[in-house]
A = this chain, B = another copy of it.
Amino acid sequence: MTTAPEFAITRRPKTAHLIGREGSRYQIPTPALVLDLDKLEHNLAYMTVFCEKHRIGLRPHAKTHKSANIARLQLEAGAVGICCAKLAEAEALAEKGIHKLLLTSPVVTEGSIARAMELARQTEDLILTVDNQKTALEIQQAAERAGLTISLAIDLDVGLHRTGIAPGDLASALAHFIDGASHLTFRGLQAYAGHLMHVHDFDERKTKSLDAMRQLGDMRDRLRTEGIGCEILTGGGTGTFNIDPEAGVLTDLQGGSYVFMDREYNEVPIANNAPIPFETALFVQSTVISNNTPGLVTTDAGLKSFSTDADPPIIHEGAPDGASYFFFGDEQGGVLLKDKNEKVDLGTSVSCVVPHCDPTVNLYDWYHCVRGDVLVDIWPVDARGCSQ
């Protein structure tokens, strides 16, 4: 049965006519997701140089940006591949021509395994991750039926206990199963210590992350002695990008947030007494829509316009010094002024650094790409909402 035509949503930005116009950044209807391309390019270049210098690959995570344009920039800069969190995210990027996708979450249902086979047929070098033998067998059977050979990496649980199999005998047995299966190729190990990314103290983060890497290295060594080589040892994130290479285990780094940065990562000291090398490239731009109450103005960006799992947005520009943002319901934000006599005009543009970039991006259909105060391009958030 084909998809009926009534089951389609088509969205078009109402801002294309603004592209290239002087000052157009501030004419975008708000709330809008604004991406500063100069800062984005700085971040991409910094990470590329860093990885080259440390002789480690980069396999950036698209769960942050969900954008084929940004994935393409990352691949052009030398990334060894692109990570996706979900099958639908990978499908959306593959549809835009992105290849070399590593799916970092398991697919376990009959329906999703069937979709993964379809995706493997359509894209070059798809790698799935698996954390148990039952699923590996089901993928083997589906691959056999489909006449495909599927690349699998084992997701190793190095302490987060979210997905993954603990290092040890069961993990070894799983590797041997995959290695011996007719329609599977064992590619290596994934280990993501997500619980460590925002550990505030650098030394504590370093100690714990190196321990996670040690577990990964030990598993790799065990498999090697058992005759199974790991082509890929993938993991890490923005919070440990400059710690993990030191362990000498990973073949590639999976960082995502470094492309944009957000309040959370801006508040994690990247190193002891060292400045954060990434610049904030992503903002939510809003507009003051009410100013009748002394000491307070109201913007049009509330909790449908930012993720709310972290501390509130930080005001970047548009409000007097000392002003702070608070969530004022679904549709509005409040800006608390330091001085009750301060006035902010209706229509004033207020830009905020987002609390947490990944889920904030997931709220928007478009990146409004700017250089200075000019809107220069509009990029779709291709995989917005593609969590399936």
Contact = CB atoms under 8 A, between A and B. Distances in A.
Interface in A1-55: 1, 3-4, 7-14, 16-17, 27, 29-32
A85 B163 contact: no
Interface in A77-98: 85-88
Nearest to A378: B7
B111 A27 contact: yes
Given A7-B13, A330-B359, A162 B300 contact: no
B17 A8 contact: no
A185 interface: no
A332 interface: yes
Given A105-B332, A109-B287, A364 B346 contact: no
Interface string A273-307: 00000000000000111111100101011111101
A385 B365 contact: yes
A279 to B, nearest CB: 22
Contact of A308 (B163, B288, B309): B309
Interface string A106-126: 111111100100000000000
A132 interface: yes
Interface residues of A, number: 84
A172 to B, nearest CB: 15
Contact of A388 (B9, B31, B85, B309): B31
A212 to B, nearest CB: 16
A327 interface: yes
Residue of A8, A110, A309 ringed by the most chain B CB atoms within 10 A? A309
Interface string A216-235: 00000000000000000000
B290 A86 contact: no
A13 to B, nearest CB: 5
A161 interface: yes
Given A29-B111, A162-B332, A364-B385, A289 B157 contact: no
Given A3-B12, A85-B331, A132-B292, 17 more contacts: A8-B12, A9-B382, A11-B385, A31-B387, A63-B330, A108-B287, A108-B347, A110-B347, A135-B346, A161-B293, A162-B332, A163-B332, A304-B359, A304-B362, A305-B387, A307-B308, A330-B359
5 contacts: A7-B380, A10-B11, A29-B112, A108-B346, A304-B387
User: What are the nearest 9 A-B pairs in CB distance?
Assistant: A29-B388, A163-B290, A1-B17, A308-B309, A161-B293, A85-B331, A10-B10, A108-B346, A3-B16
Interface of A: 1, 3-4, 7-14, 16-17, 27, 29-32, 63, 85-88, 105-112, 115, 131-132, 134-135, 157, 161-166, 194, 287-293, 296, 298, 300-305, 307-309, 327-332, 334, 346-347, 358-359, 362-365, 378, 380, 382, 384-385, 387-388
